[in-house]
Amino acid sequence: MFGFLNVYKPGGKTSHDVVAVLRHVTKIKQIGHTGTLDPFAEGVLPVCIGKATRLIEYLNDDKAYVATVQLGKSTTTYDLEGEIVSCSDKKVGLLEIEKALEQFYGEIEQLPPIYSAIKVNGKKLYEYARKGEEVEIKPRKVTIKELNIVSFDENSQKLELYVDCSKGTYIRSIANDLGNVLGVYGHLIKLVRVKAGNFLVENSVKLEELESKEQVLTNLIYPLEYLDYPKYELSELEKAKVANGNCLSVKCEDGLTLLTYGETLAAIAEIIDNRAVMRKVFL
């Protein structure tokens, strides 16, 4: 078994829980996911099975979410699972929110939540937080490609946003920072990942529908469909060379290229001056 699964992770389960379920169903140990979702979050979770786990680093990392922000309160974790630390009775309007969101477009510096898995001096930030220890958190550059208001209820001060962003963006931080900019505080109460690279929520399969190895096979995606690189079809002689890990002379542009044979993935190579150097071989 070799390929990708576009799994819809339900709320209440961790990304590791999803992998554990699929290992139990398929009896295959070589399974991994491509990007952690917080337990309360739901949505697209790309999963790699078999040798496809070697392709994780080559997948598109951009993400898109629909996030629900509750204005008026902030929490320790920047989401509904934390303790409330600040409150405001002030209510804001749609025009104020639209103006505030302008600060979050493009490349920005974002401070990750203290309750996150980012490591500082070998320890995860949430380990410092749980012990009440102080640690310096450095801002990180992220890119917000699209940030649109989906809906806003002025009475409840609930705001729904569509966010298309680069890898490493914390939607929780956007919720918290937006609340601070507006002067009313804010935290994330719902998060649905609707896109992870080429994996879209409308094409995902619910975890509870994957109850057998046959159902997993039915929904398996062959890697060539989701890898955004040029392709080069091998001859029989070239295939034999690739199988032995040898370099090839090819007329291709420099960069990563998918080497195929009979419409199957044979290898990933890096082209340097018309010379294909093998990076991953699947023959």
What pLDDT digit, counting tens, does each position of 182-238 carry?
A: 999 999 999 999 999 999 999 999 999 999 999 999 999 999 989 999 999 999 999
What's the chain's Rg over C-alpha atoms? 22
38 is catalytic: yes
Q: Kindly report, residue by residue over 161-196, the tens digit of the pLDDT.
A: 999 999 889 999 999 999 999 999 999 999 999 999
Gap between the Cα atoms of 259 and 155, Å rounded? 57
Q: What are the pLDDT digits (tens) for 102-137?
A: 999 999 999 877 666 666 666 666 665 566 666 667
Question: Which whole number is the average pLDDT over 36-65?
Answer: 93
Q: What is the pLDDT of residue 210?
A: 96
Q: pTM for this structure?
A: 0.90
CA-CA distance, 107 to 117, in Å (whole number)? 22
CA distances to 24, 222, 273 from 254, rounded to whole Å, are 42, 25, 6
| Annotated active-site residue in 38, 177, 254, 273 | 38
Percent of the chain whose pLDDT exceeds 70? 92
Mean residue pLDDT across the chain: 92
Sequence-ordered strand ranges (E) for 197-262: 199-200, 205-206, 231-233, 248-249, 255-261
d(CA 175, CA 188): 6
Cβ count within 10 A of residue 74: 22
- For residues 231 and 276, what is the distance between their CA atoms, to the nearest angstrom? 12
